[in-house]
Structure 1
């Protein structure tokens, strides 16, 4: 089989890239070893995060670093065995979290974040998936008066970005979420984001739209990628597929393909977990809630109430470890009346992250026809459609809606 472009990876980034290339006249074949939306795109918190204009930075305060060093927190946990291997990457992350480089990362990401909702909206309408999406925003919840006071100041400092939010005192917060426990002292309701009740289902719906419009989805092994007579070729269950262009949109697995080709992009994995719960009788969760201090999100999902954890630094292939989930669950049960677990075991996901807090989007640089779209960290769902649009514009010779230079793979050379 031959096409114009092969897209490797059927998560939200790969599917969105395929759709945007298809809309610009490219014949595209989408390839993944699993079903669309079954990897990292399946298990996230379901936030289309328009309000996250400041990237998630590494803590700089000595007091925070000391607390994290004890490895007893629920928001971040690390494997002692993996720490020596991850330390150089973490140091680069810490360097890039200083005020000046963090400001650069914020400016770089802003054009993508600003357009994330409208790019999703266009696909949601075309795929008729409006039932999966709510426009009610999400709420940061605070259990500590000092933490709440600082959060309000931080929110006010974002005024130049024109974000919509409401500061909720204790009474207002409990009126908005009547089942909350008494520990909750206040919150910030961010109104610009949208929430998704089934992120994996949304991705599969986008993939179905791609197929409906004439695209092909085929199971195959991205690691078989090779150059043959000037084209790129990948082995699939239906035989080899060739194309002059190929996009690596494999999220956390991208390194398995670009490293053998000679690229030294510092892609690291932040692991995370989710578990679904029933609500206790009479309790209803109306909005997605984020406990910033404990580092988890509670989100009303089609499968139940989903608790998603923060960050675990461990080898990608290490077995799942429930320590972090149990720590989060203990706090979450005080915040909201969770009932029994629904899933037989926790889901383990892997977020693809780069130390300067921005993805790689654009040409690979050393190989003709090789393109990258990965490294979206915590915001793969948020940025999938908008980064797919940007790459499609670059690949088809259209004028990009924003300067793609900040996302170039060459920045790591």
Structure 2
């Protein structure tokens, strides 16, 4: 039985561990933090098979001037970051064309359909149904102009046979009467799931992993070496050896792999969130993306979670709560928020590869080293599917989907 180390215990690492154990491997997760407590904790809580539109699409170039010179709730950036990571920015913009948009959408559709099915099986196995509501994902538009800008994404959804329902103003009011602001249109995704508590889901998955025989090291991986066909790690005067290593460390993957000679084209889209009590209980199942507002919110009856847009900055930069505070001000007009339940805003970093696709597959320079990171804003949606295809690669079996778009070989590493 091969012994495999997975570096990173976020939702991607946990799902990968579960899948590898299912296939007969001995698996250990390694992470200095509690499982699911970092980037996997701070997200909108959506599992969808229809999050297909990458950020670097043709509309990005058209709106570039506005993004640079107009401060928006949906997007902020650090000038210092832009200056020091200009090569990554330019590389990111190079992919902002129609051909890449359509190529990426097709690849993400295959991965997310596979992932949704794998998540549904895990939800049953881990008794997590009470943490799930459906449909789970709704985009709302206040004006006809913002909805018209969405036509490009609708075209992408249609080409990839994604299932959704378009709601008009009256249908939105009828289905979601608790919303105190009027919306022009809504797009409700049929097959989507909302995870009420992403952390609770990660914990359930992790417990299933350990109950299935998985190991866990609450340590930081600082000393990873490859000698005589095996990987070794050293910590607390201990030395452990593994046959294979999977790097699933999300935003920390870049730093970890740089020490092994890989310059990963990865940057960090930071995001914030807060929790509020509400003056009256709400009955809203899906997580809601207010397009003009530039934020996402979701309801658990008497509690509201609000998540900010993107802040392009270094992982360890100081907090800047302007975006999340603007989101809260806008949300006050939509729902009767009461008391803030979180003293400080939570901050996390979403790992983004230059082409907005995750990096899943064999490392180009080392034997028995595998990558599974860079899942951008949709790590929860793609985690279970990426675990399946990576496990198939490790087994040297035919993949369930086309994995070429996610190959690390697509970059000169």
* TM > 0.5: yes
Per-residue Cα deviation, 1:84-104 (whole angstroms, up to 9, x for no partner)? 023221221111011122222
Counterpart in the other structure of 2:4: 5
Q: Is the 8 A contact 2:52 2:156 kept in 1?
A: no
Shift of 1:53: 2.2
Task: Return the TM-score normalized by structure 2.
Answer: 0.94
2:326 counterpart of 1:327:
yes
Q: Comparing 373-382 with 154-163, which one deviates more in the overlay?
A: 154-163
In 2, the alpha carbon distance for the partners of 1:165 and 1:356 equals: 26
Q: Which residue of 2 aligns with 1:384?
A: 383
1:276/1:303 contact within 8 Å kept? no
Contact 2:295 2:327 in 1 (8 A): yes
CA RMSD of aligned residues (A): 2.1
CA contact (8 A) 1:247 1:371 kept: yes
Bigger shift: 17-26 or 126-135? Answer: 126-135
Q: Partner residue of 1:274?
A: 273
Superposed, which structure 2 residues align to 1:5-404 within 5 Å?
5-57=4-56, 60=59, 64-151=63-150, 154-155=153-154, 158-236=157-235, 239-301=238-300, 304-404=303-403
1:261-307 CA distances to partner (integer Å, 9 max, x unpaired)? 11122011110011111112354434311112222110124993111
Q: Secondary structure at the match of 2:56?
A: coil
TM-score by length of 1: 0.94
Tell me how far apart the structure 1 counterparts of residues 66 and 339 of structure 2 sit (CA, whole Å): 31
What is the total number of aligned residue pairs between the two structures? 412
Moved more, 300-309 or 65-74: 300-309
Deviates more, 1:179-188 or 1:373-382: 179-188
CA offsets per residue over residues 159-195 of structure 1, 9 Å max, x none? 2322222221111101111121234233111111111
- Going from structure 1 to structure 2, the CA distance change for 1:205 and 1:323 (only over 3 Å counts) comes to same
Contiguous gaps of at least 5 residues in structure 2 = none
Aligned in 2, Cα 1:159/1:101: closer, same or farther, shift over 3 Å? closer
Rate the CA distance shift 1:151–1:165 in 2: closer, same or farther, 3 A.
same
Unaligned runs of 5+ in 1: none
Q: CA deviation at 1:148?
A: 2.7
CA distance in 1, matches of 2:65, 2:182: 26
The offset of 1:310, in angstroms, is 1.4
Take 1:389 and 1:380, find their aligned partners in 2: how far apart are those partners? 14
Change (3 A) 1:74 1:228: same
Compare 255-264 and 79-88 and name the one that shifted more: 79-88
User: Structure 1 residues 149, 106: closer, same or farther in 2, change over 3 A?
Assistant: closer
User: How far has the Cα of 1:409 moved from its partner?
Assistant: 1.2
